[in-house]
Structure formats: structure tokens, C-alpha cells
Amino acid sequence: MKAKQLIERFEQFAPKKLAMEKDPVGLQIGSLNQEIHKVMTTLDVRPEVVDEAIANHVDFIFAHHPVMFHPAHNLDLDDPQNAMYAKIIANHITVYAAHTNLDAADGGMNDWLAEALQLTNLSGMVPAYDESVFRLTVQVPKVYATAVRMSLVDAGAQASAAQYSGYTYEIDGTVYYVPKAGADPTMGTAGEPNEIEDSRLEFEVPERNLHQVLKTLSDVHPLEKPLYNLIRLEDKKHHFTMGRIGDLPHSMSVRELAEDCKQTFGVSGLRVIAHDMAQPIKRVAILGGDGGKFFHLAQQKGADAYVTGDVYYHTGHDMLAADFPVVDPGHHIESICIPKLAELFKQWSDQYHWQLAIYQSTINTDPFTFM
């Protein structure tokens, strides 16, 4: 298979338009037209990770953090970063990164982090993107209705009913017509009245799935030019957000929350910003990565405490002044993406019969050692 097959499916899950402005997501090095056989999931792309990929015959690296946050100003191979780029290219490895678009995706990074802390009654925190939803109505001969409906649902034509999957509407009727001479395909005798049993299928399609759904419709519909109608639903949007706010399984103190984060995310040390380590906590906000600037929003939305990484010194003072407890377990908690992405790719590989091996990086790329 080609790399673009995996990426087209992934970008239905986490479209690039969800990314924050100037976040360099997407193809980093290589070509999406390259044939791939083994994908490695990783948080970061560092020289030791590239060596790991080469040793394990990986030809596609899928990372959370972009390898090229800043453009290369030259190709001086004495620069370790440039030398890493050269090694990637020399070994025909394609590199792709999904960063803040993965953070904002439904079922993505911040849902994985919230799940790890066993948070329930989740709501979003930081608005990321409002996605349009379309109503697609398709007319199809009744004998083909089930096959067309199932194909479109598989392609992403899903009504926005969170408690159901494959939610569609179907109504049957009769089409009356007189075929003209040379009609192709021929349905009935030219010049004579004819009728067939017909079905009208109705779906709601999120914008991110629209291209694939319409392509699938063209591929599977029995008529050369399918009859369909597409309407943007102005009163319905899907709201993508970064960060999650939810309830802990039971109330705990700030100290207990910090200890729980150490165990859950496998970190040997973390920072806590709080006046009172015994303060009870029930509702927690979490945002992977550098989320300190959003602490006011987390507090306004009802969180008792906030879990995020890379809190700056002066921001920490502001958090204390706001009397809002914050646990900073570091940026590396996002390494939860390594097994989660692998699980996702394995699921798709089975579903679409891809000949694709999945490898999870075992390199710890956390640059910090706690003493």
C-alpha cells in the first residue's frame, strides 16, 4: 500500500484543519506516494528513534511532534538535526506528524489522557474548530439500497447521534419513466413506460468525511451518474476542542492527584502548583503538552484542578494567585499516543485488509531526568 492510503484515513479521524495556526502538521520528509510495509508510532523523531526505525526496517514514521518545527537554513551535515534528516532520506523513510490536530480530534490525544485518569462526564475545554455537517440524500434502486447504504456508512456517512453508529434514514417509493433510445444503462424497453422500486437514503455527513463519501458513492452506485442532493446544515456544527474536563472516580486531595498522575503516566517526578496540598479535588481539566496559558479557561469551566505540561515560572505565580491547583507531569505524558496510534492503525489495517506491520517505538525521548 502507499503511505497516502493510511494518511487519507487518518485525516478523516484528525483533519489537518483542526491544527492550531502555524502548527506544521502533515508530511515532514519523504513522499506519501511511497509504498510502505512497516509503520512506527512515536512521540518524537530524534536521532536515536531514527536509528531504531532503521534497525527494525521501518519505512514510515508516524509522530505526534513535528520533526521540522523550523525550516532548515542549510544542509550542513555537521548539524545533528540536518544529519538526522539526511539519514531519514538515505534510508527511504517517510515521516508524517499529527500534532494539535490529534490533540483536538474526537477520540484523540486528550481523550486518551482523560481516559487514563478515568475521568467521566467529559466536556471540551479550548475551542479548536467548528466543522460543518451536511445532509446527503441519495436515490438508488431498492435492490441496491442496502449495499449502497452500508458502503457509505463505512466511508463516514454517519448521522450525528452519539449514542448510535450507522444511523441513517430510508424511505421506499416507485420511479416511473420511459427509456429513450440508446439509454445507457438500459432499464426497460426504449419508448415503453416502465417502473422500478426505488429507495431514498438520507445521511448526515461531517465535512471531514465528505470527499470520501462522495467518492464511494460514485464507485458503488449502480448508475453512472448517481442521483443525490447535498445540503449544508446551517444550524448544526460539530465543535472540536483541545483539552478535556471531567470527574474523577472519587474525590481526592491535590497530593493524591499528583501521585495518581505519577503512577498513571509513568513519570519519576512532577511539579505541583498549589497553596494547599490537602485541598479536595473532584473535577479535573487535562491538556497534553504546553497548556499553561489555558488555566484561566479551565478554572472558568468548573475544574477544581488542572493537569498540563511545561508550566512557565511566571504563569505558575499567576496560578497561585488564582488559587487554582495545577499538576505539571511534563510534556512526555503524550507518549500515550504511541500504543494508542498503533492500536488505531491495527484496527484500520484489519478493516481495510492492508498489508501493514505496526511497530511501537521503545525509545524514551523525555529529555529530563529527575534527581
Binding residues for a divalent metal cation: 64-65, 103, 331, 334
In 3-state terms, what secondary structure has residue 326?
Answer: strand
Residue keyed to cell 424511505: 171
Cell readout for 114 is 482523560
Cis omega (within 30 of 0) for bond into 329: no
Alpha carbons within 13 A on the beta-carbon side of 272 = 19
d(CA 112, CA 334): 9
What secondary structure letter does DSSP report for 209? G
In 3-state terms, what secondary structure has residue 226?
Answer: coil
DSSP lists the bridge partners of residue 357 as: 38
Residue keyed to cell 498513571: 264
Q: Which residues participate in the annotated binding site?
A: 64-65, 103, 331, 334
Cα-based angle 157, 159, 164 (whole degrees, multiple of 5): 110
d(CA 284, CA 298): 9
d(CA 281, CA 252): 5
Cell readout for 52 is 531504531
Cα-based angle 342, 348, 353 (whole degrees, multiple of 5): 120
Q: With 0-12 CB in 10 A as exposed, 13-18 as middle and 19+ as buried, what is 90? A: exposed
Tell which residue, 172, 117, 147, has the closest CA to residue 285. 117
